[in-house]
Structure 1
Amino acid sequence: MEISSHPSSQPGLEPMIDVRTLAEYLGVPVSTVYDWRVNRKGPVGYRFGKHIMFAVADVRTWVEEQRESSPSGRASHGR
């Protein structure tokens, strides 16, 4: 799934997505996104009143930071 910008984004402004779109993109429940926010583990969000939005660039940066350097549970054998 490609992250697409929020329908109301304007040219020249950072594209934003909402919590539901982020959860769908990452394949996690919406509650997980909220838990990450409480525990400061997820991407940086912006609060607009009662709405939480995420800049697409921040999500991409956060996703890249989650990349494992090698598959977990495997020892590197001199590589």
Structure 2
Amino acid sequence: MGIVDGKRIRPEYSATAEGAHTKAEAILRRKILEYENAGTVFKPQEITLQDFLSFWMEEYVDLKLEPNTYYN
């Protein structure tokens, strides 16, 4: 990466996040996953399939797809 104070600086690798090459990237990936999954985590015994599908229709399909697609 470069030389600082006469010493070669090497990238630090971490296996903490899938596909991450550096510690900073691993932290960033972890934070992005936390953000994307915030409020949408369900324990299997706490929700039925019908409840989940209703949630998915309201929170994903209705917001991200065109009305005709939603209707179909």
Calculate the TM-score normalised by the size of structure 2: 0.26
Calculate the TM-score normalised by the size of structure 1: 0.25
Larger Rg: 2
Higher relative contact order (CA 8 A, sep 6+): 1
Higher strand share: 1
